[in-house]
């Protein structure tokens, strides 16, 4: 464990506080886990007497068990760190006013870009900041930097926006109110409100197409959707959950990334990496004791990228009368790489039936929209 010194922090040592802590789940309370798990360093900005910090930073060195099969840091591990930072700052902010104690539950992750890979031995700096608050939800912007502690070189690897909703700890079906935040300008608040309304509309549209099920295909041909579609089944245990018995959003996202990676690898048969994640919508909470089925299928492939749709269905074991339900949905984008890390062409998909053709066209539309947005952002920065 180490703490990288920051000149700015040294200059303001009298009014900044440094907190080193581990956010533990019930499954982390065994002595062997406490001895082996890496320490997470949390840096809060603001004065020590301040009721809440508007931003924080989580720092952690990347270890071999954070790697994927080709040696760089697993995309799901990065998603878990992003969600953990958002959960900490969201829960802290939502408990700064009198009333029921609450926990911030992940409701949605906006598009998340994987700009550069992160490697074992590097230090991840996950910075989170609250950027908008509505009556019942809070937006957290997160940036991830990697640092090579041998050379001092740093680079931004990821950026994401997450939406959290506070649930009362006394009544988990009760959504509490979010304390207001101070904005730098009226324009900043207005831009945040636009983002809030846009994600609210997209969540409603996603709920309308949530009924689809992935059916197994017998003897599928290579490069068809049925050939690469994949599923994982996981029993939710204490180590997957918060202290209040709900699955961490980051745990779910890592499972989703693993399934999407299996789909991409089966289709491409090469080294594949996560390029981006389109919006992840958390429709319903998943409780401890549920069996979750995480399923993925290819929906679109361009020359250099591949879109994979992922569903998470939860089936309560103890309260079986509640029935199986769709908990989370998302689209992941993967790219194929050669042994030197250079992008390869994606094999064309063989489409079968009107449903696959429709999903392909929808995926193509999302691909073109995201491409146009990237070009527009690049032009604004120049």
Residues known to be catalytic: 68, 257
Q: Exposed/middle/buried for 169, CB within 10 Å: 0-12, 13-18, 19+?
A: middle
Between β-strands 102-109 and 55-61, what pairing exists: parallel, antiparallel or unpaired? unpaired
Whose tokens are 């949390």? That residue is 42
CB atoms closer than 10 angstroms to residue 337: 17
End-to-end CA distance of the chain: 39
Cβ distance 171 to 177 under 8 Å?
no
DSSP string, 22-36: ----GGG-SHHHHHH
In the 8-state DSSP scheme, what is residue 127?
E
CA 213 to chain centre: 23
Cβ distance 87 to 107 under 8 Å?
no
Q: Is 269 left (phi over 0), alpha (psi -120 to 50) or beta?
A: left
CA 339 to chain centre: 27
**Alpha-carbon span 283 to 210, nearest angstrom:** 10
């Amino acid at each position: 464990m180490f703490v990288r010194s920051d000149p700015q922090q040294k200059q303001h040592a009298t009014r900044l506080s440094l907190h080193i802590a581990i956010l533990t789940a019930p499954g982390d309370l065994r002595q062997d886990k406490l001895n082996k798990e890496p320490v997470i360093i949390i840096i809060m900005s603001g004065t020590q007497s301040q009721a809440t910090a508007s931003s924080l930073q989580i720092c952690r060195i990347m270890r071999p068990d954070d790697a994927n099969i080709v040696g760089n840091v697993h995309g799901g591990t990065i998603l878990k760190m992003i969600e953990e930072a958002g959960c900490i700052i969201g829960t802290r902010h939502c408990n700064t006013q009198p009333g029921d104690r609450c926990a911030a539950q992940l409701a949605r992750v906006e598009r998340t870009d994987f700009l550069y890979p992160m490697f074992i031995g590097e230090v991840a700096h996950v910075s989170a900041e609250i950027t908008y608050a509505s009556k019942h939800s809070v937006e957290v912007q997160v940036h991830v930097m990697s640092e090579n502690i041998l050379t001092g070189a740093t680079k931004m690897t990821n950026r994401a926006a997450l939406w959290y909703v506070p649930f009362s700890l006394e009544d988990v079906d009760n959504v509490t109110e979010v304390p207001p935040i101070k904005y730098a300008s009226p324009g900043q608040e207005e831009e945040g409100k636009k983002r809030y309304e846009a994600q609210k509309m997209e969540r409603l549209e996603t709920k309308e197409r949530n009924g689809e099920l992935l059916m197994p295909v017998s003897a599928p041909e290579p490069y068809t959707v049925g050939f690469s579609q994949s599923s994982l089944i996981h029993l939710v245990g204490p180590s997957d959950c918060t202290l209040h018995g709900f699955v961490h959003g980051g745990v779910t996202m890592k499972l989703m990334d693993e399934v999407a990676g299996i789909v991409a690898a089966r289709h491409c048969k090469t080294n594949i990496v996560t390029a981006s994640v389109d919006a992840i919508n958390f429709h319903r909470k998943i409780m401890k004791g549920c069996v979750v089925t995480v399923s993925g299928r290819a929906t679109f492939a361009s020359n250099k990228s591949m879109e994979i749709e992922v569903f998470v269905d939860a089936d309560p074991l103890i309260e079986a009368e509640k029935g199986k339900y769709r908990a989370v949905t998302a689209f992941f984008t993967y790219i194929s790489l050669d042994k030197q890390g250079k992008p390869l062409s994606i094999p064309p998909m063989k489409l079968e039936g009107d449903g696959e053709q429709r999903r392909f066209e929808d995926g193509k539309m999302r691909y073109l929209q995201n491409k146009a947005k990237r070009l527009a952002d690049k032009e604004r920065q120049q």
